Structures are given as structure tokens and as C-alpha cells.
Structure 1
């Protein structure tokens, strides 16, 4: 069977294409039914149109094709020679349109070839995206992945298609950006394994040598806000842009970092570090998945979102 575009071109090639609009493609179905029924009233009923609307459509078809198409005779309406010539190609075109509309697009990860661009803070890269990439390495071997630092805000990059997803610790209000909560996280303190302190107290906490992770280079953070509520102020001895630098500035020192618990557990597994309970209440945060509305029904994107959400649920269920 000819492709839909080729079939439609063959049917429409006989008249001035400058007069054709997208709406005229609907007339192909009208003509198909008129030729099948050879009766305006019955064709109108099948399309849930009034007889006058069907008559107007027939007039438009006659204008487009430069032919009467159907003629009244003593025994009803009969197709012209031109209409009979068009009929098999018309039937093929309408059938192809029906298949095109009814087919549900599918995504087969095992055979798919596509590149996904996902932005996140390095916390999410480490605790969420790294396990995801391990899981899909055999499930979807043909997919390529580009992990990027999180833009602030991500809205424009999502809208333009530069990013497929962004994983963020806070929401923004960009038009068309959909935000879905992924994971709840709380804070803990991280120190060198041989740090002299075994527990932390509120009185001396602010005076310790604090390490602060500031991905965007901005001073201040949730710990500073928590201490401000107690009228205390900490000393930030070291500020770094990435959680992954923490082992290199904590080991063999008396410094301390207050970080999301899941990244602390990962770092403590790989380095001589241990966790301590914060002596002040540090509010946790929600990690969000952000994507643009234009991808809502893209099967590949639906799969991608579902896989990220699945990995997040696994983390939540293990309590890690």
C-alpha cells in the first residue's frame, strides 16, 4: 500500500493545490461515504451531519475536483467516471487515515534509539540517576544519556527541548512545566570517622568548622536558617559546589557538613566518614521531577518519567 502522503497526493493532484486547506482532508471521508451510499441523506446520517451540511460538502468536493462526482438519475445518484476512477485510491487513503488515528504509539525500550538529556543537582545524580542508569543498561541498551547540571530555573530549557527532565529540590512557576514530587529527604551531619565528637550538642554546634555545599555559589542555607531561629550563627570554614567533594575536605579534619541523608550514606559507604544526628531541627525537602507539557503523550518520555519515579519509590521504600 502507498504511504498516506503519496495516496492523498495522487487523489488531490488533479486540482489546484493552492485551494486546499487542512480541513479539506475531512472531505475525503465525506466523498468516500457518498460514493459508498450514493445517497446524501444516508451518508449524512453516518457522519452525524445534517443533510444541508452534507450537500455543502458535496458542492465543495465538486469545486475541488472540477467534476460533478455524483449525478442525479431516475434511480437515485450515480458516480461519474471521474468518481469511479478515484474510488479505490480514496478508499485506501481513508483507511490509512483511520489506521493512523487509531494506532497507539509505542515505545520499546529494548530496541529504542534515543538520547535523553536530564538535569539535576549532583545529589540527585548520585542517589537517583546513577542507580537508574545501572538498571536500564540492559533494559534499554540503545538509549544514550546526557546528565547535566541543574539550570536555575529549568523552565526555559524544558520548554525549548534542551532538557527532557530536570530534578529539582524546589519548584518554579514556568508556564507549561509540570512538577511531580519524587522523594522526601531529611538532613544529617557527616564527619570524618575519627572525628573526636561522638554526639553533637546545640551549644557548641555553631562553633564547629562547617563545610557548606552551595551548588550555585550562594551563601547561606537551611542550616543557617535553623541556627538563626536559635539566635546562633555558624562559621562556614569551607564552601564547595558539589557534595562529591565532601570526603576530600572532611577526612583527616574536625570539620562537619550537614547534608541530605541519602548522599551522606553513599559517601560514608565509600569513604572513612560517619553520620551524626543534628542537634538542631533542620527542615527536610521534597525532590521534584520537572518536565514540559509538550511531552505528556510522548511514549518514550512517559517511559522515562515512569522509570525515574520507579527508582524514587525504591529509595523511599528502602528508607535509605
Structure 2
């Protein structure tokens, strides 16, 4: 049992190493993050195996996979590291009315556009001296590892490059704290007076000229997969790199576009747009505010998370 061991003989860095290997599922990548050699990481894992009497990680052609015991240890190890960071870190109290800190919030383009106004208004009132950096987060092209297409954004949180992220994730690992902000679905947006403004049929929808928001310029989105399953396809007549440009282009053309409902509702009158329901049902995405549990022990980050929840959503887990 761990409580029967002389703690003076235990290197707490082993816990940090354990967490990084668990995150990376790869010894060489973990070594790079820790500025160690792969052999040093392997040696440290050997010490951990002896200490915990479990293999912890099993080798595979693509890296390592954690044992059931390693997965059980993930949350308590994360909590231990967070408590240590809290103890040895800055313990200065946080007063939002007086603080001059600078926080960084990241989210996909559409989420930033549809939430930033109310968020900035609330922060300006409660904390007039605090500065913010809003960062545009993008999904990885091919999904990636744990965290799916947003694993790079989660990595940014763990590296403290972001304080809080707002992401369309169904769930997060125990290393993170998440609060549900709202559910985002898509609608079909177009200019006022557009022929399709009255509940378009699937055939009319697929035959129309579409606009797609695509930073890379790739003319394929989630709707194309839905159409393909029904033996249909559409013409992507224009791709644009962001959602605000999409609104501008829709207002002066006969193009149509599937856009986030919240975004369109907020800006339809400004751009002279209307919207109808998509002719295909699609499950909404849950948008969540996310921070690492370690970061949440910083009173300033905890305050920021609460502000995001208050400004944007209901804050459900």
C-alpha cells in the first residue's frame, strides 16, 4: 500500500511523467514533451511499475496503451499534481475589480462571433482593467488522437497557452473541467426574398448553389456526407474562410448556406437574411467551456470560467 511506503523515497516527477505518457500514448512523444530521452522515460516507467505493482502501459506497434490500473489512476494523479501546483504556485488573492491580468479564450470562429459581445460586456463591467485575447481555434484536418478533431486545442489548454476554450465536445477526460454552455444546431440561411425561403424540398436544396465556410478551401462539409447517404449531391459555388464573410456574401447573392443557428439569429437583421430549417435532421453539438482542473485552482481562471458560463450559457456539466 502507498501509505505504508516512505514518501521521502518517491520522486513526485514520476507522477508528472505518468500523466504525460497517459496523454500521449507514446513514449517518444512523451519524452519530447518532458525534455527527456525515450530511454529515460522507459527507465522511469520501470520504477513506477515496481512502485505500483502493475505494468501500467503495454507496447503496441503505434505506441503504448494504458492498463485498467493506469486508467484508474488518471484522475487521482491529476488531482495530486493540481494540488501540488496550487501549493507551490502563486497564492495571491484575485480581485477582478482591481486585477490587471490578461486572459486568453479560444473557440471556433462561429462560437467567438456569436458569444464575444455579451462576454466582453460582462467582463468590462465586472473587471474593467482585465485584458483579453480571443483566439480562433480550428479542428485538426483528420481528427487526431484523444479529443478528436479538437485535440490540439486541448493540448493548448494543458500547455497554458489558453485559459478557457469553448468547444463542440460531447465529453472530456478527467483532466479537464467542462461546463455546458448551449446546444448548437444549423439552419439554412439566405437573403430575404430568396426562392427557397419557404421550407425547401430536399431536391431544391441539393440543386441550389451553396456557400461553404472552409478555411482550407476544401469544398466538402458535413452536409455533403448526409446528402451522399441519400444519393444526392450539391454544388459548392463558393467557399469563404470565415462566418462573417459568409453572412456578407449571402446578403448580396442567391447563394444559400448551412450556418449555426445562434450566429444567424443574432445577425440576420443586420445582413438582411432569413433562415429555415434544414431538410435533413442533424443532432445538435453541445458547446462547452473547458479548462484544465489544474488551471481551475487559479482563482483568476476559476473566475473567468464562471464569467463565460454566466455570459454565454446555463453552465450544465
How far did residue 175 of structure 1 move? 8.1
Match of residue 170 from structure 1: 169
Kindly indicate whether residue 110 of structure 2 is the aligned counterpart of residue 123 of structure 1: yes
- Give ranges in structure 1 of 5+ residues lacking alignment: 1-20, 22-99
Match of residue 144 from structure 1: 131
2: CA distance, partners of 1:306 / 1:216: 34
Match of residue 183 from structure 1: 182
| Structure 1 residues 282 and 179, CA gap change in structure 2 (3 angstroms) | same
3-state SS of paired residue (2:210)? strand
How far did residue 224 of structure 1 move? 1.7
Match of residue 154 from structure 2: 155
Aligned length: 216
3-state SS of paired residue (1:290)? strand
After TM superposition, the structure 1 stretch with the greater mean CA deviation from structure 2, 256-265 or 243-252, is 243-252
TM-score, length basis structure 2 = 0.62
| Structure 1 residues 150 and 210, CA gap change in structure 2 (3 angstroms) | same
3-state SS of paired residue (2:264)? helix
Match of residue 193 from structure 2: 194
- Give ranges in structure 2 of 5+ residues lacking alignment: 1-7, 9-86, 140-151
After TM superposition, the structure 1 stretch with the greater mean CA deviation from structure 2, 290-299 or 200-209, is 290-299
How far did residue 129 of structure 1 move? 2.2
Where relative contact order (Cα < 8 A, 6+ residues apart) is larger, the structure is 2
| Structure 1 residues 156 and 197, CA gap change in structure 2 (3 angstroms) | closer
Is the Cα–Cα contact under 8 Å of residues 207 and 235 in structure 1 kept in the other structure? Answer: yes
Match of residue 257 from structure 2: 257
Is the Cα–Cα contact under 8 Å of residues 181 and 314 in structure 2 kept in the other structure? Answer: no
How far did residue 177 of structure 1 move? 3.8
How far did residue 196 of structure 1 move? 2.5
CA RMSD of aligned residues (A): 2.7
2: CA distance, partners of 1:267 / 1:315: 24
Map 1:1-320 → 2, pairs under 5 A: 106-152=93-139, 153-170=152-169, 176-199=175-198, 200-215=200-215, 217-313=217-313
Is the Cα–Cα contact under 8 Å of residues 155 and 172 in structure 1 kept in the other structure? Answer: no
Q: Which segments of structure 1 move beyond 4 Å, counting only runs of 4 or more?
A: 171-175, 215-219
How far did residue 169 of structure 1 move? 1.8
How far did residue 163 of structure 1 move? 1.0
Is the Cα–Cα contact under 8 Å of residues 211 and 239 in structure 1 kept in the other structure? Answer: yes
